[in-house]
Amino acid sequence: VNVLFNNSGTVNVNGPFTASAGMQQQSGTLNIAGGQTFTAGGSGLVLNGGMLKGTGTISGNVNNSAGTVAPGASTGILTITGNYTQGASGVLDIEIGGTTAGTQYDQLVVTGNATLGGALNTTLINGFVPAAGNTFNVIQAGGAVSGTFSTASLPAGSGLTANYGATSF
């Protein structure tokens, strides 16, 4: 696609897909399936609404201004080869059902910088109860992690706390 791609429906990326001028997500869902790659050139992928989910790769910058990013197909790893920015109205949804990234809990891998804002929603799944000392690296950046979530919804009684690191959260 050589024009700015505007999505308000459902796009399932089941093979390599390129939006060379970038993509504006207004509503609906962008699902990166089974390790596939979505290339967002130009302005990158801008989430003004709707949801980005899946277990593949976004090649380009992602600006989550008012959408929801939900790595995995239940649990899984979503990779962004670029920078990730989450604005004040953006949401990151994370599911935790064990201690292994990708198969038991969601992870967002960013090769560039991750700038955080907005909300983090965390849900325990499959009856999992975290034990003292368990850690869940839900964001791993190749560059710096800056900013903080304005709200971090952690399951009551789970003992989970939010820890910001230089290159991870």
d(CA 134, CA 98) in angstroms, rounded, equals 9
The string of DSSP letters for 85-117 reads EE-TT-EEEEEESSSSBTTTB-EEEESS-EEE-
d(CA 106, CA 6) in angstroms, rounded, equals 27
Neighbours of 15 (CB within 10 A): 9
Average pLDDT, the chain: 94
Is residue 3 scored above 60 in pLDDT?
no
Residue type, 87: G
Q: With contact defined as beta carbons under 8 Å apart, do 32 and 51 qualify?
A: no
Angstrom distances, CA of residue 57 to CA of 40, 52, 69, 107, 150: 10, 11, 13, 12, 26
Angstrom distances, CA of residue 161 to CA of 39, 77, 156, 157: 34, 21, 11, 11
- pTM (two decimals): 0.95
d(CA 105, CA 93) in angstroms, rounded, equals 11
Q: CA angle at residue 127 from 108 to 135, to 5 degrees? A: 40
Q: How much is the pLDDT for 134? A: 95
Q: How much is the pLDDT for 6? A: 76
With bands split at pLDDT 50, 70 and 90, how would you rate the model's confidence at 2?
A: low
pLDDT tens digit string along 134-165? 999 999 999 999 999 999 999 988 989 999 99
